[in-house]
Every structure is written in structure tokens, then in C-alpha cells.
Amino acid sequence: MTVWVMLVAPALGAELREARFGDDRPLTDAELAPVRALVAPRADRVLAAPSPRCAQSALALGLASEDEPALADLDAGSWRGRRIDELASSSPQLISSWLSDPDFAPPGGEPVTALLSRVGGWLDALPADTGRLLAVVEPAVVRAAVVHALALPPAAFWRLDVAPLTVTSLSGRAARWNLRCGAPLTLRQLP
């Protein structure tokens, strides 16, 4: 039986606009307004990453979601809440290592390879009778799922862009996935 996994990137919040490592700030009403005008694809089950941004985006799409810890964002450790340009100015070698070495972890954080393993393990453990599963997840989780599903080298992680409020779909099952990337969510029909 084919499993359908639809990964929806959440609304654009201040942390992404400011190129800031995730700090779990809630989205504002203005940031959620574009989400409320959209319709999510039909799903048998809905999950959300354990961040306010993902949970709020799911709710704004009219979805009742379950929290899924395996789909948490890449842990930035002590870099959490800091801007990338600040760190690049004060510690250019660390940022360079982070962007070029998938095994490098920020102090107290998680390397990309750990995220790939966590998300890949979650994907591979989905039962064949999962049906259509939709998950609202951070862009790093979408990238990790694509890298795993297509058996790309871990270094490809940083070469994938994920736009807010898009759907990346994987169909298949463990060890054999097909990809459909970056489809926009559809607008709600006005009454």
C-alpha cells in the first residue's frame, strides 16, 4: 500500500525574515492572516512539529493536529534566537563549518546528520496503512525528509530551499519514495 506524506512549511515568521535561529516565538495575527486564506490538502491524519509556528499554522489552516516530537526543528543549541549574520561576524569559522560539514553541531545543538537520521527513521517507520498524512513542519525537516527519501548525500541538505506555505509530497514507502516538491497551498473559495 502506498503512503502519502505531505509536508507543509509553516507561515513566515520574524525568525525566518531576520535569518534568526529558531527561538519558538509565536506568530503574530498579521503573519497568520495569509495562512487563513489557504486550504490544506485532504489528509487522514495531521501532525505538527512541536513549535508554536507549526502548531499555529496548522490551526490557521483549520487543521486539528497531533504533536510529533520526531519532526522537531534542527536544534541550534546555544545559537537559538541569534541572527546568522551576528554569528558570522563573531565566529565565521563556526558558521562555515555548520554550513559545510553535516556532522558539525552548534554548541549544545544537533548536527544535520542527526536530524537526517531522526526524520529518516520517522519516515521509514510509517506503517503501510498510514494513508494520507499531512505534517506542518519547519523547512529543515522538509529538507531532511527529501534528502533521506531520495538518498541524497547529507551535504545536499543546505542546497534545498523550502518556501513558506508550500507542500512537499512524498509517496511510496521505506526505501522507495517519489517526490513532488514545493506546490503552493490553494486559496479558499469565497462564498
CA distance 32 to 53: 9
CA distance 77 to 39: 34
pLDDT at 110: 97
Domain with 55 in it: what CATH number?
Answer: 3.40.50.1240
Arithmetic mean of pLDDT, 125-153: 96
End-to-end CA distance of the chain: 37
Please check the confidence at residue 184 and state whether its pLDDT lies above 90.
Answer: no
User: Which domain, by its residues, includes 64?
Assistant: 3-187
pLDDT in tens, 57-116: 999 999 999 999 999 999 999 999 999 999 999 999 999 999 999 999 999 999 999 999
Cα angle at 144 between 148 and 87, to 5 degrees? 145
Looking at per-residue confidence, does 68 or 183 come out higher? Answer: 68
The number of domains in the chain is: 1
Please check the confidence at residue 190 and state whether its pLDDT lies above 80.
Answer: no
146 contacts 181 by C-beta, under 8 angstroms: yes
